[in-house]
Chains A and B, each alone.
Chain A
Amino acid sequence: MLNPNLKLNPKIFDEDVEKDATRIGYGKGLLKLGQENPNIVALCADLTESTNAHLFAKEFPDRFFEVGVAEQNMAAVGAGLGVSGKVAFISSYATFSPGKNWETIRTTIVYNGANVKIAGHHSGIMTGPDGATHQATEDIAIMRCLPDIEIYVPCDAIEAEKATIAAGKTSIATYLRYSRDKTPFMTTTETPFIPGKMQDFWVSENPQATIFATGYMLHYALVAAKELEEEGVHTTVVNVATIKPLDLDGLLKFTNQTGAVVTVEDHQIAGGMGSAIAEALAKTNPLPIEFIGLQDRFGETGNPKDLVEKLGMGTEYIKEAVKKVIKRKK
């Protein structure tokens, strides 16, 4: 059942569940930060409305800088601001930032210790019709390998607003991952968001497997858990909203009883959240793992929902993976 302690959205499984894109949460969070702190500045590379930075830009034109189609410059200008007492949010599509400007981010932001928040939008195959060029499916991998960075992947628009605000209050380089399409609200404004902590959204008396999910794919995982429950298969579903630093205590707590894991993400299975979980478990509690995500291939043009199915990431695939991983337990 849904964890009663987290004040989750009671309509999660309903047809008419409220929906919005996580990028909307970014825009709202950034605006609130700007209202609270005059040192918040924002930059964008010709995608201001699409990344929802326009709310901030409109209210704080003196603190917003349009750099044009120039992601490397955006990153390093942000770095200059970030070492000068400002908290700089840089917004673009994740294939371009942190994709195209990765080395600039590595050198001038992360290694340089600049207080910059990299907002990567249009992540995953959820970007849909634009096709694989615009679907960032490697961004977690290329950010996760950097030292001295934190990574948040909010599961819905409400959590996205909280994650954005949380990032704006730290002084460390942070990667924030958002998606384009409207996805269901799983949390409410009452749901606690604690950076660095995993949360068990679905709980069972005697769980047989743990599903770790990140981003909007958490909804697919919850639907899978509910259907499995009806079939007599019991699971725990965990929201991994902070991918770095990974919550090692939570990881052990949520796998201790189950001894089997399925990871679910809209990202390549190489280098993503699943890899992070596997690396940590290999050192502490080795157990069978199945990985749901892009299986070493690019996405393609299509309606996001159809793509999730075509690329083997939908609810049925998650259920199959759970059954398979339970069988693999010794």
Chain B
Amino acid sequence: MNQLTNEKLKDLKLKANEVRKLLIEELDAACKNSGAGHTGGPLGMADIFTAMYFHILRHDPKNPDWEDRDRLILSNGHICPIRYASMSQAGYFPIEELKTLRKIGTRLQGHPHRTALPGVENTSGPLGEGISQAAGIALAGRLDKKDYKVYCLTSDGEHQEGNIWEAVMFAAKLKLNNLIQVIDFNNIQIDGNISDIMPLEPFRAKYEAFNWHVIDVDGNDIKAFVEAVQEAQNVKDKPVIIIAHTVPGKGVSYMEGNYKWHGMPPGLKDVDGAPPKDEQVKVALEEIEAEREKIVNQDL
């Protein structure tokens, strides 16, 4: 990974801002295509996806099957709109194709499908299966003496699935230090706040008890996140989890922190605390544009 200069950081912030715009436009199209789409998680993870595709990952969008590439495994497949937006921004496919999300015949399936779109590393949607798959890919890398890293993005809600803990034990047993899990810890799930539905705390202590190296970080702070990944890359004898504390809906004030935006696209219906449905997309894009100007005008 290259050094993160102030200039590069500003560039990444602008890219994260741009990908939020692409995401809202993508979800606007998905709403029209299908009346559905996930918004909260994808917005909250925009900074991490940007850091991944534009700074951290060793990858080549023109050669998605390059055998030495780092692998980005998405366990909580429902946040795929941000993966798609980031991938198109990085050059995996044309940006216009984002508007086909959830439309019949699209490569951008409602939940991501490996063989549908080059660059998607795993089919996912049913929760709790990513760490296992990432562990298998990490094992293959070890057997083949490859130095690629396997990054596995997961969610807090899916940690309610028992099979996650099977994978957590397995990765620790094999000391898979080429596996780095990044959990989107945003405290929302479909039915409400995680702390109400099925609490996970003490979360850090659970992973420590399972012999993982644990790093807590603000998942909406690109600089802090990149530093966390640098620390993770240097851990020698354990798998690593970066607990990325994120704000769901980050960047659109009327969505931030509200679990109701977990699985709903803007423009679908009137919601308490949000603009009327016909104005939701417009307001979201205006806020993102205002943020862009702020970033442009920030001193390095």
Contact = CB atoms under 8 A, between A and B. Distances in A.
Interface of A: 41, 62-63, 65, 67-68, 70, 72-73, 75-86, 88, 103-104, 107-108, 111-113
B74 interface: no
Given A72-B129, A112-B114, A112-B115, 14 more contacts: A70-B163, A72-B162, A72-B163, A73-B132, A76-B132, A76-B167, A78-B136, A80-B132, A80-B134, A81-B140, A82-B136, A83-B121, A84-B136, A111-B123
Contact of B138 (A76, A80, A108): A80
A81 B139 contact: yes
Contact of B136 (A68, A70, A77, A111): A77
Contacts of B135: 73, 77, 80
A72 B137 contact: no
Given A67-B166, A80-B133, A107-B126, A113 B115 contact: yes
Of A73, A78, A81, most B-chain CB atoms within 10 Å? A73
Nearest to B138: A80
Of B113, B135, B140, most A-chain CB atoms within 10 Å? B140
B169 A107 contact: no
Given A72-B166, A80-B136, A88-B136, A108 B123 contact: yes
Chain B contact-residue range equals 20 to 34
Contact of A77 (B113, B114, B124, B139): B139
Contacts of A112: 113-115, 122-123
A83 B113 CA distance: 13
Contacts of B67: 85
Given A76-B129, A76-B136, A83 B166 contact: no
B129 A107 contact: yes
A68 B167 CA distance: 11
Interface in B173-202: 174
21 contacts: A41-B139, A62-B143, A67-B166, A67-B170, A70-B166, A70-B169, A72-B129, A73-B135, A73-B170, A75-B132, A77-B139, A77-B170, A79-B122, A80-B136, A80-B139, A85-B67, A85-B140, A88-B136, A107-B125, A107-B126, A112-B114
A266 B115 CA distance: 36
Majority SS of interface residues in chain A?
helix
Contacts of A108: 122-124, 129, 132-133
B7 interface: no
Nearest to A72: B163
A103 B126 contact: yes
Nearest to A79: B133
A84 B140 contact: yes
Nearest to B73: A80
A63 B183 CA distance: 29
B141 interface: yes
B139 A76 contact: no
A223 B231 CA distance: 68
Interface in B126-180: 126, 128-129, 132-141, 143-144, 162-163, 166-167, 169-170, 174
A75 B139 CA distance: 14
B139 A83 contact: no
Contacts of B126: 103-104, 107
Given A63-B143, A107-B123, A108-B122, A84 B167 contact: no
A72 to B, nearest CB: 4
What are the 8 closest A-B residue pairs judged by CB atoms, nearest first? A80-B136, A76-B132, A84-B140, A73-B166, A70-B166, A72-B163, A112-B123, A77-B136
B143 A83 contact: no
A33 to B, nearest CB: 16
A115 to B, nearest CB: 11
A111 B125 CA distance: 12
Nearest to A111: B123
Nearest to B144: A85
Contacts of A88: 136
Contact of B124 (A78, A83, A107): A107
Nearest to A113: B115
A76 B134 CA distance: 9
Contacts of B163: 70, 72-73, 76, 104
Contacts of B134: 80
Contacts of A68: 166, 169-170
